[in-house]
Structure 1
Amino acid sequence: MESVLRYLDWTSVGLALLGGLFSLLLLEIFKLNSSRSRYPPGPKPLPFVGNMPEIMKDPMGSIRSMKKYGEMFSMYMGRQPVIVLNSLQLFKETFVQNGAVYAGRPAEPILDWITNGHGILMAAYGHSWKQQRRFALHTLRNFGLGKKTVEERVAEEAQYLIKEMLKQEGKAFYPIHPIMNAVSNIICSIVFGDRFEYDNKRFAKLLEILNENFQLIGSTAGQIFGLFPFIKHFPGPHQKVWQNANSLKEFIHEAVEEHRKSLDPEHLRDFIDTYLVEMTKQESKEDSTFHEDNMIMSTADLFLAGTDTTATTLRWGLIYMMDHPDVQERCHEEIVRVLGFDRSPCMDDRTQLPYTYATIHEIQRCSYIVPVILHETTQPTQLRGYNLPKGTKVLSNCVSIMTDKKHWKHPDTFNPENFLDEKGQFCKNDFFVPFSLGPRVCLGETLARTELFIFFTSLLQRLKFSWPPGAPPPNMDGILGIVRSPFPFNTICLSRETTH
């Protein structure tokens, strides 16, 4: 009799649990259907996880297929609805015409864990973000952003990069470190007041962990963290992200302490010096956001944004040049015809190098290193007849915009003609939006444009790039982390000097 009662007890518990789970599932389905009725129609989500499984299975395939749902639709990241914009008109209507309304930064658990809301890139739209961004822009301009001094620094660094690459001449090598080091040295000279040699092992390790974090944060592990942030208390790949972020903070903290010891307020050397002086000026102000945590994270943001995006674009550029040797040769011939073999390029040369300039734009268009841009509403608003509450996530699909068949001559293939008119002159295209639009437009757009033009032109002026014999075709989907980066690849570079 006792055993029968025990059996009945376990059966009751099991049935109660099953009934509870079934009720929970029904409640979730009801909530989901109710939520979907308030937003534009889109792909059917699953309870609790939304459309995440299909996105995680094939991120780039999912992004490319979004255009089939029309100009605007809804999808679900976990239980959160996301409004997806597939057209430039909607992009401008939201991020530009109503910029302040759509300038919010959605909570990204893994990034919030690292930044604690400080800095610029992941800071919420508000007083702190405005102060930090305005100060960063002003300081960057004071230290040469958009001026000849920065152009000269980039041109000089390009020669160091060429020299470093020629150490591997004729041999297959992975170019990620020299490219990242070269690009990073430009922002480092502005932020830290110094550049780092290519054989500096500590700096090389720092660049390595930065690249690792960019990939880990956007990987499946990062997305799982977004759904279940409580796992930060448990072991897993997310702990590597935390360790890497702390290594960067420690590096910056050491630089700050060195600056404190040698600070001369009358002769400011770089961004850190300027920030230290600003902290002192703002001490008595109640609404000041200039403090140690914001200094460390703002410096980290400038360092990260000023390194990875441009370096990643240049790596994609090498892939496209090796895959299209005819384009590479035509760029080289144009560069040598205008600049000769020895003169370094400057931004004034763009009008005389239309094909090269068009090629750089086409690399950016096809590599779309930031394929989607995610914001959230800062207040309740309306969009095309739909009521969006405060905190609604809004995602602009840059891939859809930059491959719109109505506005590109060759939307789905790599072809510099997309940026050339009938006379072979460079022509702008409004559907080219790699730096985003509106209040959160890329902080370093001017610097990135300068670096891309001078680095790319210098490399093709002096070097020829080709695939190693027998190299497999590259996987052009790349790795979708914080930015979309190429899979590791080897290249062979040869000096053009022997042919001149």
Structure 2
Amino acid sequence: MESVLKYLDWTSVGLALLVGLLSLLLLELFRWNSFRSQSPPGPKSLPFVGNLPQFSKDQMGIIRSLPKYGEMCSIFLGRKPTIVLNNMQLAKEAFVQNGTVFSGRPLLPLQAWLTKGYGIILANYGHSWRQQRRFALHTLRDFGLGKKTVEERVAEEAHYLIKEMLKQEVSNIICSIIFGDRFEYNDKRFAKLLEILNESIRLGGTTMAQEELKEDTTFHVENMMKSVFDLFIAGTETTATTLRWGLVYMMNHPDVQERCHEEIIRVLGFDRSPCMEDRAQLPYTHATVYEIQRYASITPLGLIHQTTEPALLRGYHLPKGSTIMVNLKAIMTDKQHWKYPDTFNPENFLDEKGQFCRNDAFLPFSLGPRVCLGEYLAKMELFIFFTSLLQRLKFSWPAGTPHPNMDGIVGTVRSPFPFNMICHSRETTH
């Protein structure tokens, strides 16, 4: 009798589990179909996992395919839809004309626990973000951003970069701006920067100390530490990654590399370091730096945004908390805006007279209130580093080495696969 009851108990448990799982599946299918019916079209997705399996196999292929679903489409990076804006007009309508509505940031539970919503990059749109961003911009200006002294520090670091054969230590630039000194590449003090920063906070009479006296201030140790960390991440990885793509493109297009070098030597010679004022006399080199950023598109979908209130966009009702991304890759390869959208060609930024010309569809730093606050510094670094490298060095692929997959490694930042290169001094060949 006991064995029969035991059998019946296990049967009941199994049936209950099965019914529960089926109920969850039916609820998920209902919820998933409801989302899909109310969202813009997009690639086929699956319940629970959405489009994650496709992204794991070919992320750049999926991103390149999104414009075929229209100017506005949906992807499922999990259980909820993310709205993707595929052209410049729609991106401006959302992020510029309605910037306060589309400038939020989704904060995942793990991020909330790690960052507490502090900092600049991932902080939600609001008082704390505005105060930290404003202070960061003012502080960078106080330390010389936009002045000749910063250009000199960038040129100095370019000299060391050439000497050290690109050891990916671009973070020294933002170190020298924030802390007033650069660090040798093997300097152990670099690991103690945050400890030094912590000590400086306790010094009286600083702008940090003044801000802490205000009632509505968001200035305290944790928030400032996160903001400085954001500046390091934004000012290091993106610039270094863009330079690596630049080297790949120069090795793939030796004619472009030679034309840049000849222009640089004609204007600067071998001895004078470049500065931002040289851009007018180096139109082809200037155009090449911009083309590297356009073609590399190191943040193909930008950083994720979130609506801060309900919104209406092109007939679609977006509830508060909807996640939004802009397809920067599509915008910067849109044939309506570019002469050579799908190939690497500096002529995209040159007019009929061979002079540099800007393009409104050039958006590597995104747009709207959340535009990258380090845009000017990044442009300065890239121009001076790239010009210095091509002034003195020649880059080429090792003989017989297969070229890396040009889709690269796609994460938050799209970077090239590791590669080997041959580097020759230019001065010994002249």
Same fold (TM > 0.5) = yes
Alpha-carbon deviations, 1:105-147, whole Å to 9, x = none? 1124454443221111111111000000001001111111112
Structure 2 residue 229 is the aligned partner of structure 1 residue 300: yes
Equivalent residue for 2:160?
A: 160
Residues 335 and 461 of structure 1 are in contact (CA less than 8 Å); yes or no, is this contact kept in structure 2?
Answer: yes
Describe the SS at the equivalent of 1:382.
strand
Residues 252 and 299 of structure 1 are in contact (CA less than 8 Å); yes or no, is this contact kept in structure 2?
Answer: no
Residues 198 and 221 of structure 2 are in contact (CA less than 8 Å); yes or no, is this contact kept in structure 1?
Answer: no
Describe the SS at the equivalent of 1:428.
coil
CA RMSD of aligned residues (A): 1.7
Aligned residues: 429
Residue 36 to residue 324, structure 1, CA distance change in 2 (3 Å): same
Q: Which amino acid aligns with 1:62?
A: I
Alpha-carbon deviations, 1:330-349, whole Å to 9, x = none? 11011111111111111111
Equivalent residue for 1:253?
A: 194
CA displacement at 1:20 relative to structure 2: 1.4
Structure 2 residue 402 is the aligned partner of structure 1 residue 461: no
Residue 481 to residue 108, structure 1, CA distance change in 2 (3 Å): farther
Residues 278 and 290 of structure 1 are in contact (CA less than 8 Å); yes or no, is this contact kept in structure 2?
Answer: no
Residue 319 to residue 257, structure 1, CA distance change in 2 (3 Å): same
Residue 466 to residue 201, structure 1, CA distance change in 2 (3 Å): farther
Describe the SS at the equivalent of 1:359.
helix
Alpha-carbon distance in structure 2 between the residues aligned to 1:108 and 1:9: 40
Q: Which amino acid aligns with 1:342?
A: D
Structure 2 residue 318 is the aligned partner of structure 1 residue 388: yes
Equivalent residue for 1:18?
A: 18
Equivalent residue for 1:89?
A: 89
CA displacement at 1:64 relative to structure 2: 1.3
Alpha-carbon distance in structure 2 between the residues aligned to 1:469 and 1:109: 49
Residue 366 to residue 108, structure 1, CA distance change in 2 (3 Å): farther
Alpha-carbon distance in structure 1 between the residues aligned to 2:31 and 2:114: 32
Structure 2 residue 245 is the aligned partner of structure 1 residue 316: yes
Equivalent residue for 1:248?
A: none
Equivalent residue for 1:421?
A: 351
Q: Which amino acid aligns with 1:195?
A: R
Residue 110 to residue 400, structure 1, CA distance change in 2 (3 Å): farther
Residues 192 and 255 of structure 1 are in contact (CA less than 8 Å); yes or no, is this contact kept in structure 2?
Answer: no
CA displacement at 1:87 relative to structure 2: 0.5
1:18-417 matches, within 5 Å, as 18-165=18-165, 175=166, 177=167, 180-181=168-169, 183-200=170-187, 203=190, 251-259=192-200, 263=203, 265=205, 277-373=206-302, 374-417=304-347
Q: Select between 29-38 and 381-390 the one with higher mean Cα deviation.
A: 29-38
Alpha-carbon distance in structure 2 between the residues aligned to 1:108 and 1:416: 40
Structure 1 stretches lacking a partner, 5+ long = 166-174, 207-250, 266-276
Residues 73 and 83 of structure 1 are in contact (CA less than 8 Å); yes or no, is this contact kept in structure 2?
Answer: yes
CA displacement at 1:4 relative to structure 2: 4.1
- Could you tell me the TM-score, scaled by structure 1's length? 0.82
Alpha-carbon deviations, 1:410-441, whole Å to 9, x = none? 21111111111222221211111000101010
Alpha-carbon distance in structure 1 between the residues aligned to 2:328 and 2:174: 26
CA displacement at 1:384 relative to structure 2: 0.8
Residue 338 to residue 405, structure 1, CA distance change in 2 (3 Å): same
Alpha-carbon distance in structure 2 between the residues aligned to 1:111 and 1:475: 32
Alpha-carbon deviations, 1:295-342, whole Å to 9, x = none? 111111111211111111001111111111111111101111111111
Equivalent residue for 1:451?
A: 381
Alpha-carbon deviations, 1:464-488, whole Å to 9, x = none? 1111222221111111222111111
Alpha-carbon deviations, 1:334-393, whole Å to 9, x = none? 111111111111111111111111111111111111111220111111111111111111
CA displacement at 1:16 relative to structure 2: 2.1
Residues 107 and 117 of structure 2 are in contact (CA less than 8 Å); yes or no, is this contact kept in structure 1?
Answer: no
Alpha-carbon distance in structure 1 between the residues aligned to 2:325 and 2:246: 26
- Could you tell me the TM-score, scaled by structure 2's length? 0.95
Describe the SS at the equivalent of 1:437.
coil
Residues 191 and 299 of structure 1 are in contact (CA less than 8 Å); yes or no, is this contact kept in structure 2?
Answer: no
Alpha-carbon deviations, 1:146-165, whole Å to 9, x = none? 12111111112111222222
Residues 112 and 122 of structure 1 are in contact (CA less than 8 Å); yes or no, is this contact kept in structure 2?
Answer: no
Equivalent residue for 1:218?
A: none
Alpha-carbon distance in structure 2 between the residues aligned to 1:395 and 1:2: 61
CA displacement at 1:264 relative to structure 2: 7.1
CA displacement at 1:42 relative to structure 2: 2.1
- Of all paired residues, the percent bearing the same amino acid is 72
Higher relative CO (Cα under 8 Å, sequence separation at least 6) belongs to 1
Residues 465 and 493 of structure 1 are in contact (CA less than 8 Å); yes or no, is this contact kept in structure 2?
Answer: yes
Describe the SS at the equivalent of 1:356.
helix
Alpha-carbon distance in structure 2 between the residues aligned to 1:5 and 1:160: 80
Structure 2 stretches lacking a partner, 5+ long = none
Residue 58 to residue 121, structure 1, CA distance change in 2 (3 Å): same
Describe the SS at the equivalent of 2:164.
helix
CA displacement at 1:92 relative to structure 2: 0.3
Residue 61 to residue 111, structure 1, CA distance change in 2 (3 Å): farther
CA displacement at 1:2 relative to structure 2: 4.2
Residues 104 and 378 of structure 1 are in contact (CA less than 8 Å); yes or no, is this contact kept in structure 2?
Answer: yes
